[in-house]
């Protein structure tokens, strides 16, 4: 896969599945290495095409989630905490 086709694949997939995606999950769906997908997500985030946020789950390291910027218009990057009791994301 070339970098351009990876970029297109990432944007197409995330546009048709408008939810937040973690790097490992997106890499598995696209069948591409985690490192390559992470690099492409960082580039798209820097270009303003994606929005990222940090997700914290109890007992786990914080992870970045990405979604299409058009869905999250005019929101600053933010932090979420997943409640152990309800599994609901709350602003942290």
Domains and their CATH numbers in the chain: 3-91 (1.10.10.10)
Nearest-5° Cα angle at 14, 32 to 90: 110
Mean pLDDT, range 19-33, rounded to an integer? 91
Highest mean pLDDT among 1-5, 55-59, 81-85: 55-59
33-68 residue pLDDT tens: 999 999 999 999 888 888 888 888 788 888 888 888
Q: Give Cα separations from 10 to 34, 67, 85 (angstroms).
A: 12, 10, 33
């Amino acid at each position: 896969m070339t970098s351009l086709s990876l970029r297109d694949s990432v944007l197409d997939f995330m546009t048709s599945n408008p939810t937040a995606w973690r790097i490992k999950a997106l890499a598995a769906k696209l069948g591409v290495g985690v490192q390559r997908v992470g690099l492409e997500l960082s580039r798209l985030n820097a270009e303003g095409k994606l929005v990222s946020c940090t997700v914290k789950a109890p007992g786990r390291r914080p992870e970045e989630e990405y979604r299409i910027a058009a869905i999250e218009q005019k929101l600053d990057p933010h932090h979420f905490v997943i409640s152990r009791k309800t599994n609901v994301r709350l602003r942290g």
